[in-house]
Structure 1
Amino acid sequence: MPRIELAYWHGTHQPGDVIDVDDVQLREMQRDGRVARVVTSAAAPEPTPAAEPEAPEPGRKRR
């Protein structure tokens, strides 16, 4: 079960508190920006930002 440090209030927990959440709650709270950091996570590693796709070369059309 992942442990997270809160960036914002969550119920009665204030920012900076470390709480246990399940994987579904972790994804939802990360999506909403309420997670300051993941303290430990055995089941799911912290997501890394996806690389942006390369832009096509100027002057050439993509098919």
Structure 2
Amino acid sequence: MLIKLASWYGDHKPGDEIDVDDVLLKALCKDGRVAAVVEAPTEEPPAPQQEAPAQPVPVVEQTQEPAAETGRKRR
């Protein structure tokens, strides 16, 4: 991964672009030495997921029943 330095790091001056691994990137970010990530890590695109064909949802008819009384009654 390619980063641009915000401050000195070893022999590299601020503004230099250096190639680092994930562990070093985290350490440099923690120290505030990374100005920008120039080249982000290339991530493999996620595999396309096959969608299941839409199936009709069965309609369930509900009968109107009086609601059961629960809890306290008001006076």
TM-score category (smaller protein): 0.5 to 0.7
Structure 1 stretches of at least 4 aligned residues deviating more than 3 Å after TM superposition: none
Residues 1-63 of structure 1 mapped to structure 2, 5 A cutoff: 2-43=1-42
What's the C-alpha RMSD, in Å, of the aligned pairs?
Answer: 1.4
5+ unaligned residues in a row in structure 1: which ranges? 45-63
Name the amino acid aligned to 1:38.
V
CA distance in 1 between counterparts of 2:26 and 2:34 reads: 10
State the SS of the aligned residue for 2:38: strand
Structure number, greater radius of gyration: 2
Show CA shifts across 1:10-49 (max 9, x none): 00000000000000000000011000000012258xxxxx
Q: Which has the higher contact order (CA 8 A, sep 6+)?
A: 1
5+ unaligned residues in a row in structure 2: which ranges? 44-75
Q: 1:56 aligns to what?
A: none
State which drifts further: 35-44 or 19-28. Answer: 35-44
TM-score, normalised relative to structure 2: 0.54
CA distance in 2 between counterparts of 1:23 and 1:41 reads: 11
